[in-house]
Structure 1
Amino acid sequence: MPNFCRYFDSGGYFFLTVVTYQRQPVLLDPKIRSALKIALKATNQKYPFKIHAWVLLPDHFHAIVELPDALLPQRVSMIKRLTTQGSKFQSAITLTDNERFQRRGKLWQPRYWEHRLTSERRYRILLMYCYTNPVKHRLVECVGDWPYSTFHRDVERGVIPPEWRAISFY
């Protein structure tokens, strides 16, 4: 397996994608959603960060985060670890190995994807990408129909226009 090197300057805005192991569609399960919420709060207490946008889909999530430092890998690792522990996740895919080695199943792919946002334009493009992702994956017809994102919060705060609720690809 390749050994990837990540380089982070101190702080900045990042677009982040984290995917479940073998794209298992388990993230909308209430137990896992609750564990993820708790993991985000615990991670934020140890390594503060601000979530500007968030969308949770069955097998992955996207986020736009603002960091005060270069510790994104530690944050992602802690979120993944605490979510897995908190949900006591058991994967049907890895159950045989889990029984043999007496361990829990894999919830997350070992890696994640991120890139630094260097312009307001790129921020807006990826904000739109976050909020239209459930429509792209045909989970809902319109952006405003998806409950698992910060979309409705951003409309209430005036960050994005209410007209975005009706965005659809159909």
Structure 2
Amino acid sequence: MDDYRNNRVPGRTFFFTVRLLDQHSALLTEHIAAFGEAIRQARLRKPFHVDAWVVLPDHAHAIWTLPPGDDDCAGRWNAVKIAFTKALRKAASRAPTGDAIWARHFQQHAVDGGADYAALVDYIHANPLRHGFCARAEHWPWSSIHRFLAEGRVK
């Protein structure tokens, strides 16, 4: 049984899915360092805690906890998308798939509590398996499951 009781949740917590326009693209995993740097930059400007995440070739899922009283999810994702796109353009003199690489909107779900939170973390960590990218969740390199295993929160 997975144990998520010790997770830090000081503010409102949200589950997200962000997608690239091209569903056959692998830009996120091909440029994982740039995506990670985009998240880091966004967190420096407007802090948030990354509770769980997984990055697949054409989309990513995450659970973020924002500071109390702050609900600007859109601003944070916009900053991530802009920084990642700029990094791609800088590396290749333009975005590899044209001007727009991101799906316009992202999916957002306010996490209701312990059971909802646990189910969403499990969904995130199992996502690479559902897409056939690996046989075991811990084999996927771009996932918070490694942190959860190291902390003893997943067995």
Q: TM-score, normalising length from structure 2? A: 0.85
Task: Please give the alpha-carbon distance, in whole angstroms, between the structure 1 residues aligned to 2:95 and 2:49.
Answer: 30
Tell me if the contact between 2:17 and 2:60 (Cα under 8 Å) persists in the aligned partners.
Answer: yes
TM-superposed deviation, 1:28: 0.9
Task: Please give the alpha-carbon distance, in whole angstroms, between the structure 1 residues aligned to 2:29 and 2:44.
Answer: 24
Structure 2 residue 25 is the aligned partner of structure 1 residue 20: no
TM-superposed deviation, 1:54: 0.6
What is the aligned residue count?
A: 138
Instruction: Write the deviation string for residues 45-93 of structure 1: whole angstroms up to 9, x where unpaired.
Output: 111000010100011000011001111110000000000001215234x
| Structure 2 counterparts to residues 87-126 of structure 1, below 5 A | 87-88=88-89, 90-92=95-97, 94=98, 105-126=99-120
Tell me if the contact between 1:91 and 1:106 (Cα under 8 Å) persists in the aligned partners.
Answer: no
Q: Which amino acid aligns with 2:79?
A: M
| Structure 2 counterparts to residues 21-170 of structure 1, below 5 A | 21-23=21-23, 24-29=25-30, 32-68=31-67, 69-88=70-89, 90-92=95-97, 94=98, 105-161=99-155
Give the aligned CA root-mean-square deviation in angstroms: 1.2
Structure 1: stretches of 5+ with no match in the other structure: 1-10, 95-104, 162-170
TM-superposed deviation, 1:132: 0.4
What percent identity do the matched residue pairs reach?
29
Helix, strand or coil at the partner of 2:127: helix
Q: TM-score, normalising length from structure 1? A: 0.77
Tell me if the contact between 2:47 and 2:66 (Cα under 8 Å) persists in the aligned partners.
Answer: yes
Structure 2: stretches of 5+ with no match in the other structure: 1-10
Instruction: Write the deviation string for residues 138-169 of structure 1: whole angstroms up to 9, x where unpaired.
Output: 000111111111111111112222xxxxxxxx
Moved beyond 3 Å, runs of 4+: none
Q: Which amino acid aligns with 1:85?
A: K
Task: Please give the alpha-carbon distance, in whole angstroms, between the structure 2 residues aligned to 1:39 and 1:112.
Answer: 16
Which structure's CA Rg is the greater one?
A: 1
Structure with the bigger RCO (C-alpha within 8 Å, sep 6+) is 2
Tell me if the contact between 2:85 and 2:95 (Cα under 8 Å) persists in the aligned partners.
Answer: no
Task: Please give the alpha-carbon distance, in whole angstroms, between the structure 1 residues aligned to 2:95 and 2:66.
Answer: 32
Q: Which amino acid aligns with 2:102?
A: W
